Structure 1
Amino acid sequence: MTKQSQESWRITNVRIVADEEIISGSLVVAEGKIAGVYPEGSDVPAAYGELPVVDGEGGWLLPGFIDVHVHGGNGAEFMEANREAFDRITAFHAANGTTCMLATTVTAPHDETEAVIREVAAYRAGDMPYAALHGVHLEGPFISERWPGAQNPAYIVDPQPAWLEDWMARWPDTIRLLTLAPERRGAGDLIAMLAERGVIVACGHTDSGYDDIIAAVDRGLSHAVHTFNAMTPLHHRKPGTVGAVLTDPRICAEVIADGHHVHPAAIRLLVAAKPADKLLLITDAMAAAGLPDGEYKLGELPVVVKDGAARLKDGDTLAGSTLTMIGALRFMVEQVGVSVQDASRMASGNPAKQLGIADRTGRIAPGLQADLVWTDERFAVRQTWVKGRTVARA
């Protein structure tokens, strides 16, 4: 097929998750964009009659997933900082419905972190054949020694504004999100500087109390990574980081919905507490995602995966996940009890809004990019498209 025919097609006999409603019918893609949604029984314009047709077989058509927190998959991680690893990761997650992601680092030396930023910028400048990299999420190294999780404590440092100034000058619009512990020396000034420059700042791996987080939000912090994990917990006299995340509507909250990191009841509490547009599904996936149980690494740290749960070999600390975005959506619907529309918003629309790209992706609506995932009735991915082009097919 020509490029135009690859990016122009229609899908029929499918349940389309469009904003607040589910429409049974068909959808037309023209030159990489959504041209129209047509309920069952309505006429598709004759101009689209000759386009290739995909039979949706009564399954679901969802906006492509946007994962703002993912370290790797299928045996590769972003810290490898090369195109082969990036292709391997983005191909794997595309096969599980992801169409856009942030390459997420681990706490590492300056030069290793810089290499990831440099190589992601170069990757984005060329052809991205699978899920698109929207930029980098720096998870650390400005985090708490008390809450390192599966981050290497040897490389934890206080905030270094000069590093960020240098990286942003050399690779503009590449660093999209940074996770830090707001209680660290100099964190407040860095939060304000980054927020002013359009970088999302998140709390995570933090020993901050409630008041610390609220003060950080006042300076520009707007995000919380893997809520409940690696942060001070909720107590009725000391609300902690979790209490601030639950109660401050300015904070977007991530959650790892895999059944290992957070109990379904705690996720229900999070869903009830947060505004509808302030909860994001993430994978926090490591290199072992998509591979059998066994021994792996997250950065330099040895990890053991057993029954799908990844833990540091030395101890019982959870170390990222083996989750996929389709797995997170399925868990939210089947175990937490949210609607398909709400789970879709958490996996696509909300992250698009948080990243500032909701004007072009994250929803199914005419004029937006055809970033789409088609699944069967049980949410098994059949096909994924980025800008109308097939990037994965079962």
Structure 2
Amino acid sequence: MKNRHLTRIVGANVILENEVVENGIVVLADDHIVYAGHAESAPPPAYEAAIGSHHYEGDPEHKDQAVVIDAEGGWVLPGFIDMHVHGGGGADFMDATSEAYETITRFHGRNGTTTMLATTMTAPREAIDRAIAAVAAFRTGDMPGADLLGVHVEGPFVNTDWRGAQNPAYIVPPQPEWAEAWERDYPGLVRQITLAPEIDGALPFIQWLNERGIVASSGHTAGTYEQLVAAADHGLRQATHTYNAMTGLHHRKPGTLGAVMTDERVYAEIIADGHHVHPAAIQVLAKMKLPNRLIMITDAIAAAGLPDGDYELGGLPVVVKEGVCKLRDGDSLAGSTLTSINAFRYLVREVGLTMAEASRCASGNPARQLGIADRTGTLAAGKAADLLLLSPDLELQQVWVKGRALL
């Protein structure tokens, strides 16, 4: 019989869904959480009781030998869920190879992301098809880093005038037959599609996506306030990298941004890197969308984790200078070099969110939006052991993905 692998984290500030527990305990058994909360409320001893409740069949003489980690006043919180990430460590999801995906998931896993969506770019259908097929194949193996949950298709159904770093050569109106084929061939794999809701054919397409549980997100859009609300009426439920590549707020023309801020049906992504959005603007958005509708993303590209220099995104040349990504031709931002842990720290240190609020943005809210909150996104008994250990000054000490330590 094989002993269960047990880990007991003590002396931690534990971020639960509705409470921050000082001097708390978290107990892991194999790939799941068996206890998270107050030390005085833990079954004595917590890990022994946990083993018993899960029908321990190992050697009774060694059942109490758990790995004990003293957090020394640090933080234990749910692993980060990144719904919008293109690449990292020199690889891009559009590369459509297992080697690239291993590089990306390892890199972001070691920076706090435990679950992610492979995000595509505006490209020919064949290239998008290859990426989706590659994600499906990658998921059949033992993923070495973050869990690659599915795909976020960003474009090509966007507005040319607000394309940002999306390649204009491949922008097309919504193509329902593409999505039907993806859903037929890889059921449930495509989790999110970013599109401009004002373009022809968008509203029935949004309704089709919503009926199948695919997150329809507004992005790269010239939409008005009224068009965004109409899209929400049809099932639009998210805004892609809020503030960026959308019509802004004006007191007589509230624009896409005004609708995103005020429509409670719509979640708002935010890139918290200090380049895409001013911290004061993030504060405004947080006041409108917290506690349950703000989602932290990275929008990271292949250059994340690499030095400044020349790169490519969606077939377009990109220059990275002082960590900021811009198209070589023009002044448009082109993704980021952000990691989830750095985005989280920015929300706390520069924007002023509490640890619990930032954790909701980084974990709980995307889990609810993706329909996986029953198994991850918060720390609770029975959920996957997807969690992080941070030092008191928010340095990343350890990452667990389904109980597997990455650092």
TM range (shorter): over 0.9
Report what 2:97 is aligned to. Answer: 82
Counterpart residue identity of residue 272, structure 2: A
Tell me, yes or no, if structure 1 residue 274 matches structure 2 residue 289. Answer: yes
Q: Distance in 2 between matches of 1:353 and 1:164?
A: 23
> What are the equivalent positions in structure 2 for 1:297-312 lying under 5 Å apart?
297-312=312-327
Cα distance between partner residues in 2 of 1:116 and 1:124: 12
Task: Please list, as runs of the form range in 1=range in 2, the aligned pairs for 1:13-92 lying within 5 A after superposition.
Answer: 13-23=11-21, 24-40=23-39, 43-45=44-46, 47=48, 49-92=64-107
Measured against aligned partners, the alpha-carbon deviations of 1:185-232 in whole angstroms (never above 9, x if no partner) come to 111111111111111100000011011100111001100000000001
TM superposition shift of 1:308: 1.2
Deviation for aligned residue 1:59: 1.5
Q: Secondary structure at the match of 1:350?
A: helix
Question: Within 2, Cα distance between the matches of 1:340 and 1:37?
Answer: 17
Q: Which residue in 2 is equivalent to 1:204?
A: 219
Structure 1 equivalent of residue 228 of structure 2 = 213
- Unaligned 5+ segments in structure 1 are none
CA contact (8 A) 1:70 1:282 kept: yes
Q: Distance in 2 between matches of 1:332 and 1:179?
A: 24
Q: Percent identity?
A: 54
Is residue 249–residue 275 contact of structure 1 (8 Å, CA) maintained in 2?
no
Q: Cα offset for 1:4?
A: 3.7
**Aligned mates of 2:147, 2:33 — CA distance in 1:** 18
Instruction: Report 1:222-301 matches (<5 A).
Output: 222-301=237-316
Q: CA deviation at 1:321?
A: 0.4
CA RMSD in angstroms comes to: 1.3
TM score, norm. by length of structure 1:
0.96
Amino acid at match of 1:191: I
Q: CA deviation at 1:35?
A: 0.8
CA contact (8 A) 2:47 2:66 kept: no
For 1:41 and 1:286, locate their aligned partners in 2 and report how far apart those are by CA, in whole Å. 45
Match of 1:114 in 2: 129
CA distance in 2, matches of 1:41, 1:214: 49
Matched, 1:95 2:106: no
2:10 to 5, 9, 12: 12
After superposition, the Cα gap between the structure-2 partners of 1:368 and 1:75, relative to the gap in structure 1 and judged at 3 Å, is same
Cα distance in 2 for residues equivalent to 1:361 and 1:46: 20
Moved more, 124-133 or 327-336: 124-133
C-alpha displacement of 1:275: 4.1
Corresponding position of 1:181 = 196
Match of 2:57 in 1: none
Deviates more, 1:177-186 or 1:41-50: 41-50
Match of 1:169 among 172, 184, 199: 184
Point out where structure 2 has 5 or more consecutive residues left out of the alignment: 50-63
Q: Which deviations, in whole Å up to 9, do the C-alpha atoms of 1:12-63 show, x marking residues without a partner? A: 2221111222222221111311111253456433616421122223211110
Q: Distance in 2 between matches of 1:140 and 1:368?
A: 33
State the number of aligned residues: 389
TM-score, normalised by the number of residues in structure 2: 0.93
In structure 2, the partner of 1:325 is 340
Question: Judging changes above 3 Å, is the alpha-carbon distance between structure 1 residues 3 and 353 closer, same or farther for their aligned structure 2 residues?
Answer: farther
- Kindly provide the CA deviation profile for residues 84-140 of structure 1, in whole angstroms up to 9, marking residues without a partner as x: 000100000111110000000010000000001111111112211210011000000
Contact 2:14 2:37 in 1 (8 A): no
Give the conservation status (yes or no) of the 8 Å contact 2:194–2:216: yes
Quick check: 2:8–2:47 contact (8 Å CA) kept in 1?
Answer: no
Report SS of the residue matched to 1:125. Answer: coil
Aligned counterparts, 1:119-130, within 5 A: 119-130=134-145
Distance 2:3 2:321 in 1: 43
Alignment partners' CA distance in 2, 1:236 and 1:125: 50
- 2:209 corresponds in structure 1 to 194
For residues 208 and 3 of structure 1, the distance between their equivalents in structure 2, rounded to whole angstroms, comes to 57
Amino acid at match of 1:190: F
CA distance in 1, matches of 2:47, 2:268: 45
| Alignment-mate amino acid for residue 31 of structure 1 | D
SS at match of 1:176: strand
Q: Pick which of 35-44 and 158-167 moved more.
A: 35-44
Which letter maps to 1:30?
A
Residues 308-364 of structure 1: CA deviation (Å, up to 9, x unaligned): 111111121110001111111101110111100000010000000000000010001
Q: How many Å apart are 1:9 and its aligned residue?
A: 1.4
1:131 maps to what in 2?
A: 146
After TM superposition, give the deviation of residue 287 of structure 1 in Å: 0.5
Q: Distance in 2 between matches of 1:295 and 1:380?
A: 29
Q: Is the contact between residue 65 and residue 100 of structure 1 (CA under 8 Å) also seen in structure 2?
A: yes
Note if contact 2:196-2:219 (Cα within 8 Å) is conserved in structure 1: yes
Q: Give the Cα separation in 2 of the matches to 1:83 and 1:248.
A: 39
Q: Does structure 1 conserve the Cα–Cα contact (< 8 Å) formed by 2:27 and 2:46? A: no
